[in-house]
Amino acid sequence: MSPAVPPPIDPPARLLMGPGPITADPRVLRAMSAQLVGQYDPAMTAYMAETQELYRGVFRTRNDATLLVDGTSRAGIEAALVSLLAPGDRVLVPIFGRFGHLLREIAERCGAEVHVIEREWGTVFTAAEIEATLAEVRPKLLAVVHGDTSTTVAQPLEELGALAAKHGALLYTDTTASLGGNEFCADEWGVDVATAGLQKCLGGPSGSAPITLSEAAVAVVRGRTSVEAGIRSAGDPVNPDPIRSNYFDLGQILAYWGPQRLNHHTEATTMLYGARECARLVLEEGLDARIERHRVHGAAMTAGLVGLGLDLFGDQSVRMHNVVGVRIPDGIDGDAARAALLADYGIEIGTSFGPLHGKVWRVGVMGYNARRDTVLTTLAALEQMLRRGGVAVRAGAGVDAALESYAA
């Protein structure tokens, strides 16, 4: 048929130490190699229920409405926003990096009335700044990124749930970059909706978006839902002004995951197997232990990068455990150096977006790769890369500093 059919996939060996995706935990890939079962097989619906319960543990919530959206982390964000925001609804988006811009962008496309406040990349807002704007704007929704990988820092959320509630708003947060490697407590912090992805601290591939919704958020969604023609039964809701998306209609998706088992999409079985294994491994390790592991190895990597003479980017007091930004030294072409690191050592570190492109590298220490051997190997290779790029580096400076951090 085709003149040249390529051979099967055979990816090169890589150590992914960028801001994500990172090397998947082999146990997740093994789970994903399991054979399929039918969409309504008792085994499948049992796996779905287990996956829900596992993510309740990961999000630290008792929300019944805890499930997966079939798509990348961005799909989870859009499902949350398009399901919560009707055209004309007011939303407040505090922006402190690229992914805050994404929340604004998606909310605008939902037809919402979007209000933003912005801060310099690498910093975060005080609760008082956000409260002042909440009082002024009085939005239906406060939508804020938790950890913005683009800047490595995380917006403290502890007080925002109560502040949003005080001003009559729901709180949505995007935890794609932070969940599983940094403290996050959906219920204790009063978060109404949180979404995530697998490809960061959860140690899986991109393609499935865990989401959790409070009862208040579910009430908003249910008030907007409409069951599609072709599978509608007597008594099913029909809304003349439905959620603008069918694929992301969380009302229908909840009915698919719930006891009604309403037919919607065909669940992405293999991604569900992977998402389940990601959460299972988090809870098997223990969420506290996993967060501490990210803290320890992230701190060692940070110490090592400083030891190599690199300047850190961003407010370190609010830096995520799992990603470190460093300013690219003068005289080094950041992208060429990254390409050399990949070609010579098989190690990937990250570039940056927008105003930081060419100025900041981002080094990830997360999920399966939050380990001592990956930290030391990366620092050893970075030392060689900097030296060959003409930067004066004391031999062993990075590894020595990391080992001191581990010893402390």
Closest approach, Cβ 32 to a copy of itself, in A, equals 6
123, 265, 309, 384: which one binds a copy of itself (CB under 8 A): 265
Site for a copy of itself in 40-69 (CB under 8 A): 41, 43-44, 47, 50, 54, 57
DSSP letters for 227-285: PPTTS--TT----SS--S-STT-HHHHHHHHSTT----S---HHHHHHHHHHHHHHHHH
Closest approach, Cβ 310 to a copy of itself, in A, equals 21
The answer to whether residue 278 forms part of the interface with a copy of itself (CB under 8 A) is: no
Q: Which range touches a copy of itself (CB under 8 A), out of 135-143, 254-262, 266-274, 397-405?
A: 266-274
User: What CA–CA distances, in Å, run from 207 to 23, 71, 174, 197?
Assistant: 14, 5, 16, 7
55, 67, 71, 254: which one binds a copy of itself (CB under 8 A): 71
Q: Which range touches a copy of itself (CB under 8 A), out of 211-219, 246-254, 303-311, 323-331?
A: 246-254
Q: Which range touches a copy of itself (CB under 8 A), out of 204-212, 307-315, 373-381, 383-391?
A: 204-212
The answer to whether residue 274 forms part of the interface with a copy of itself (CB under 8 A) is: yes
The answer to whether residue 271 forms part of the interface with a copy of itself (CB under 8 A) is: yes
Q: Which range touches a copy of itself (CB under 8 A), out of 92-100, 126-134, 165-173, 308-316?
A: 92-100
User: What CA–CA distances, in Å, run from 332 to 338, 351, 391?
Assistant: 10, 13, 8
Instruction: For residue 237, give both structure tokens.
Output: 């809701």
Q: Which is nearer to a copy of itself, 21 or 329 (CB)?
A: 21
The answer to whether residue 1 forms part of the interface with a copy of itself (CB under 8 A) is: yes
Closest approach, Cβ 87 to a copy of itself, in A, equals 10
Q: Which range touches a copy of itself (CB under 8 A), out of 31-39, 132-140, 321-329, 388-396?
A: 31-39
Closest approach, Cβ 106 to a copy of itself, in A, equals 5
The answer to whether residue 82 forms part of the interface with a copy of itself (CB under 8 A) is: yes
The answer to whether residue 89 forms part of the interface with a copy of itself (CB under 8 A) is: no
Q: Which is nearer to a copy of itself, 261 or 387 (CB)?
A: 261
Q: Which range touches a copy of itself (CB under 8 A), out of 1-9, 130-138, 152-160, 296-304?
A: 1-9
User: What CA–CA distances, in Å, run from 88 to 91, 107, 111, 139, 290?
Assistant: 9, 10, 6, 11, 41
DSSP letters for 300-362: HHHHHHHHTTPPEES-GGGB-TTEEEEEPPTT--HHHHHHHHHHHH-EE-B---GGGTTTEEE
90, 123, 156, 245: which one binds a copy of itself (CB under 8 A): 245
The answer to whether residue 205 forms part of the interface with a copy of itself (CB under 8 A) is: yes
CA distance 308 to 384: 10
User: What CA–CA distances, in Å, run from 140 to 60, 77, 87, 101, 134?
Assistant: 24, 17, 12, 19, 10
The answer to whether residue 287 forms part of the interface with a copy of itself (CB under 8 A) is: yes
Site for a copy of itself in 369-408 (CB under 8 A): none
Q: Which is nearer to a copy of itself, 131 or 148 (CB)?
A: 148
Closest approach, Cβ 392 to a copy of itself, in A, equals 29
63, 80, 91, 100: which one binds a copy of itself (CB under 8 A): 100
Interface mask toward a copy of itself for 319-358; x: CB under 8 A: -----------------------x-----x----xx----
CA distance 257 to 351: 38
Q: Which is nearer to a copy of itself, 72 or 155 (CB)?
A: 72
CA distance 249 to 364: 33
The answer to whether residue 98 forms part of the interface with a copy of itself (CB under 8 A) is: yes
**How many Cα neighbours within 13 Å face the side chain of 344?**
15
Q: Phi, psi at residue 276, to the nearest 5°?
A: -60, -45
Query: Tokens 């995380």 sit at which residue?
Result: 154
The candidate with the shortest Cα–Cα distance to 175, out of 274, 77, 277, 75, is 77
CA distance 407 to 301: 13
119, 276, 293, 321: which one binds a copy of itself (CB under 8 A): 276
Contacts of residue 146, defined as CB under 8 A and 6 or more positions apart, other chains included, come to: 154, 155, 157, 173, 174, 175, 177, 178, 179, 182, 184, 194
Angle between helices 98-109 and 73-84 (to 10 degrees): 40
Tell me if 208 sits within 8 A of 197, measured CB to CB. yes
Site for a copy of itself in 143-172 (CB under 8 A): 150
